[in-house]
Chain A
Amino acid sequence: MPEIRLDRVSKLYAGDVPAVSEVSLTIREGEFFVLLGPSGCGKSTTLRMIAGLESISSGDLYIGERRVNHVDPKDRDLAFVFQNYALFPHLTVLGNLEFGMRLRRVGRAERTARVGEVARMLGLSQLLDRKPSQLSGGQRQRVALGRALLREPVAFLLDEPLSNLDAKLRASMRTELVRLHRRVGRTVVHVTHDQVEAMTMAERICIMNDGRVIQVGTPMEVYRNPANTFVAGFLASPPMNLVTTRMRGDGMGGLVAEAPGLVIPWPEPERSAYAPYRDREVVVGIRAEDLRVEAHASTAAPVDVEVVAVEALGPEVILVGALPDMHGPELSARLPPEYTVPVGTMQRLWVDPARVRLFDADTGTAVPPPTPYSG
């Protein structure tokens, strides 16, 4: 099973608007790869170019050693699952599953055997003579997946396959898709705008914005070390807290980032990398779960906020607080469920400076910059 490699692939639509610019990616064989980004970021176009449903304006696409830019979709050995399933409404579930095999003139005995196997795997055996209009969303989704499985492709391309399902079904389909991937063992390229989907399902995530690849990495890598403020603000809910601060010396050879209500003394290892930012504006990024109510480490730095809201979610409480600077952003802190405090009171939170990330205020990129991904 070969890898899928994109080498500076671009898509220009009429009017020279780039939908995808110079995307270079290597999707390893057998991995669950998620393309994540807001709508219009080019992730679906990228997937459709891999499938051959969209032409490639420039750059090269390889499946294994073979350059497939001009290979017909059916000869790329890929299966595509559409957002709205794209079942043939006039055919039964059986007809939909068999469609491709009939076109390829697969014999009846083999067809029946393979459809039977896939139908059992997906729990469709009882539904084979139903029409798509008689199925629920989740069942249609399964039929679409079954149709893809029956192709026995090199890779599965999934275009937001869960976005038309309700929240509960979506959660169970997530688990099911991951289990299916483990069982079938083939490459999956999954496009989604849902960061929870990406975090829970992916072996590696590629985050796209404005037609470009922003960051590629395992879920924990992109979560812990976002490449820029876009990724920091896009992943997780609540997203990473971003505060504009000023970097200055502390008069004792140390370096601190300072804003009203917050002073973060940088630990020794970071100082040299951060030194060029002395006396400049920088953005600090703090994950909501890194803000605590008690000083949990000797190096913990205080963050003073006025409580704006306390949202009890059950297993945890989200505290929304405002820094004393009236124009400053609101911060979210993920606190234990017992926590309670009246709105309007001042609360001192603590953060371990080693967990705080730094971003260039002008470019938004992380400091030190993460090693750029080059496909």
Chain B
Amino acid sequence: MSPAARDRVFGYAMATPGLAAMLAVILFPVLFTIVTSTFAFTLLNPRHDQFVGLANYAAALASAEFRHALLVTLGFVVAVVLLEFLIGFAVALALNAVERGKSAYYAILLFPLMMNPVVVGLIWRMFLHPSLGIVNYVLSSAGVGAVDWLGDPRHAFWTVVGVDIWQQVSFMVVLLLAGLSALPREPYEAARMEGAGAVRAFLHVTLPLMRPVITVTLLIRLIFAVRTYDLVYIMTRGGPGQATDLVSYFIYRQAFVSLDIGRACAMAVILLLIVLPLTAWLHRYMRSLSAA
């Protein structure tokens, strides 16, 4: 064997265990899901013995509840990504101007992000409890009547959005702040020499220079927001009614409450088809950035 061939064999030998693990826990479930989505596979009859083609997909798309879940998810994703971005960018800009104690602010900001979403959901469920929660207690001392934050269909959606913002906004802050602090100083000074004030420097220097960071941050947060699950599971179980029925939780119910694995798989594949192009685009974009 030539040395080059030996190197190659050795390389494969080193990569095999990791590759095998990846295949077992990522590629196999994906393939299993795709295959199962074309069978009438239920937990009562967990066998691939009844091929149904695309019937599961047709049923999923025909289901008003599934379409509603998709819509709720779209609204949720747009709301959290947009609001978190706006708040996050404002906080990042403010923190970027801070000279002292930056690391202390950083640490405080990172706390919510380090917490498990299940814990976050439980804590906020207690805070927001209609009669025992601290939120309503504080409001009542200000003369505002009790609000049923999670039980009222008018409030539940925005309550979940609010809790998600509380937890995830630091993600935006941290990424945008890293971007801001890496910006070169000279373009600002050049703009200042030309007579640009703070607003124009922001519009003509900060925003254009931050565009790559902003794009990446938005895309990553978007992809993660689409699969939000734990928060809803803990706080509302999709309710009241279907007010907070995010698609990932809906799929979970389809599979483990309705026990219809085949149809749940079809829905999961539909979700995958939505997220995959976003991820591919993000991947491409980040590669083009590092190439430039």
Contacts and interface: CB of A to CB of B under 8 A. Distances in A.
Interface of A: 51, 53, 73-74, 78-80, 82, 84-91, 99-100, 103-104, 133, 147, 151
Nearest to A99: B194
B195 A103 contact: yes
Contacts of A51: 193
Contact of B211 (A73, A90, A100): A90
Given A74-B193, A80-B193, A103 B200 contact: yes
Q: Is the interface of B mostly helix, strand, loop or mixed?
A: helix
In the complex, which range does the number of interface residues on chain B fall in? 10 to 19
Interface string B163-192: 000000000000000000000101101111
B194 A84 contact: no
B95 to A, nearest CB: 20
A74 B194 contact: yes
Contact of A151 (B194, B204, B209): B194
A87 B205 CA distance: 10
- Listed from nearest, the 8 A-B pairs whose CB atoms lie closest are A86-B186, A74-B195, A100-B194, A90-B208, A86-B190, A82-B186, A80-B193, A86-B187
Contacts of B191: 88, 99
16 contacts: A51-B193, A53-B192, A53-B193, A80-B193, A82-B186, A82-B189, A84-B186, A86-B187, A87-B187, A90-B209, A99-B204, A100-B195, A133-B292, A147-B190, A147-B194, A151-B193
B194 to A, nearest CB: 4
B93 interface: no
Contacts of A104: 195
A85 B186 CA distance: 8
A88 B208 contact: yes
Interface string B193-227: 11110001000110011010000000000000000
A85 B189 CA distance: 11
Contacts, number: 56
Contacts of B186: 82, 84-86
Interface in B121-151: none
A56 to B, nearest CB: 16
Contacts of A147: 190, 194
Given A99-B204, A103-B200, A88 B187 contact: yes
A103 B189 contact: no
Contacts of B196: 103
Contact of B194 (A82, A103, A133): A103
A90 B208 CA distance: 6
Contacts of A100: 194-195
B133 to A, nearest CB: 47
A53 B189 contact: yes
Contacts of A103: 194-196, 200
Contacts of B187: 86-89
B174 to A, nearest CB: 24
Nearest to A84: B186
Contacts of A90: 208-209, 211
B205 A88 contact: yes
B209 A89 contact: yes
Contacts of A74: 192-195
A82 B208 contact: no
Given A73-B193, A82-B190, 8 more contacts: A51-B193, A53-B192, A84-B186, A85-B186, A86-B184, A86-B190, A103-B195, A147-B190
Contacts of A84: 184, 186
A78 B193 contact: yes
A88 B190 CA distance: 9
Contacts of B190: 80, 82, 86-88, 147
A114 to B, nearest CB: 14
A91 B194 CA distance: 15
Contacts of A133: 292
